[in-house]
Amino acid sequence: MDHFIYQNGALCAEDVPLAQIAAEVGTPFYCYSTQTLTRHYKLFAEALDGVPHFICYAMKAASNQAILRTLARLGAGMDVVSGGEYARARAAGVPGDHIVFSGVGKTDDEITQALQGGIRQFNVESEPEMQAISRIASALGKTAPIAVRVNPDVDAKTHAKIATGKSENKFGIPISRAAEVYAMAASLPGLQVVGIDVHIGSQLTDLAPFEAAYTKVAELCESLRAQGHDIQRLDLGGGLGIPYSRSNETPPLPRDYGAMVKRTLGHLGCEIEIEPGRLIAGNAGVLVSKVIYVKSGEDRNFLILDAAMNDLIRPAMYDAHHDIVPLAEPAAGAEQDTYDVVGPVCESGDTFTKGRSLPRLDTGDLVAFRSAGAYGAVMSSEYNSRPLVPEVLVNGSDFAVIRPRPSYAEMIGRDVIPDWLMEDDAADG
């Protein structure tokens, strides 16, 4: 469920017509719903009621500080994967002991940044990383809480580019080697083992892979405890999918996920950490765009929008589906046309969908890409020197621009021309 619905013939974000925002901000733009972000966070909290738990929002899904602060006020921690994300979380008011640092390539500078600023735990991905954390923590006179990420070799049955739990993926250490890696952790100075970490992939629409992985984690937890390790937390990652297509996708509900977690892990007495990103932010955002042209081709019609692959890269990168709907509610039985929906970037890959049946549209009409709140704005770029699009947050009948569209001058002004390229200009002057 989200809070983007038609009211009096106009698609609204909560109580604000999206066309009103378009008139003030211009297109394309991202728009997020506070009520949807709040609802989705609370669904997870309710799903884990009855077991100790802590929800860390995976901020790689959408990292605008207004979104982070909205969730932090609800009690969310943050799961970060870079020094920049750590800095964003702290700037949004998230305390260090509410931040989990994940990712396979933590640098010395990032480890130092987190140890000095405060950290709930590092999710360690390899022995070399563990040694680096030990070295830096010891030099700083600090103790680094860690969980080792284990790779359970479970097929998440998701897109290959977002699968993380198979043996050929770059993430974690093989679960078969967990005992020796935890023994190494116990022997190194500056480290405190607090838990086990696992994450098998993203956009999972079946609970079976989760259950297979968590069953292995439960067995590992009991084994490690028998070896003397104080396992207090089980970090289960994220990955629960969302319905990108309202016509044929029904991912499990958070309450079903929570029941499965309690069934497989509840007997261990561990604090359960989960790191949802897509499920919290995905359906909480839309990308609004305007039709530039409708072009008739040899055997198809092209709907050319002012949004492009640099604004929403998921279809080009993952062949991802997004429902596309007009902002003006179509009349019942409205005539449909079939379109290839494309952007203006000079790439054939700048195609959002092919052969999509949509209500008949014309130049100047506005459309919304649903379920664009996760991995939309954060993955956008300035390819073709197209400025990053604005982000807007709606709260009831209010809205605010939470990232403005830069001007051409601001975008170009970040470039620096070396002195030796300025000499000829000075001489000509």
Q: Angle at which helices 178-187 and 207-226 pack, to 10 degrees?
A: 50
Q: Give the number of other CB atoms < 10 A from CB of residue 346.
A: 9
Question: Taking Cα atoms as reference points, which of 151, 171, 145 lies closest to residue 230?
Answer: 145
User: What does the DSSP assignment read for 192-210?
Assistant: EEEEEE---BSSB--HHHH
Q: Which residue in 12, 56, 270, 346 is the catalytic one?
A: 346
CA torsion, ordered 375, 379, 380, 385, to nearest 10 deg: -170
Amino acid occupying residue 116? Q
Residue entry with tokens 């008739």: 296
Cis peptide before 28 (omega within 30 of 0): yes
CB-based burial label for 389 (10 Å; 0-12, 13-18, 19+): buried
Q: Which of the 8 DSSP states describes residue 390?
A: P
Q: Which of the 8 DSSP states describes residue 166?
A: S
Buried-exposed string 88-109: b where 16+ CB fall within 10 A, e elsewhere: bbbebebebebbbbbbbebeee
Q: Is 31 a catalytic residue?
A: no
Amino acid occupying residue 16? V
Partnered with residue 324 across adjacent β-strands are 369
- Give catalytic residue positions: 346
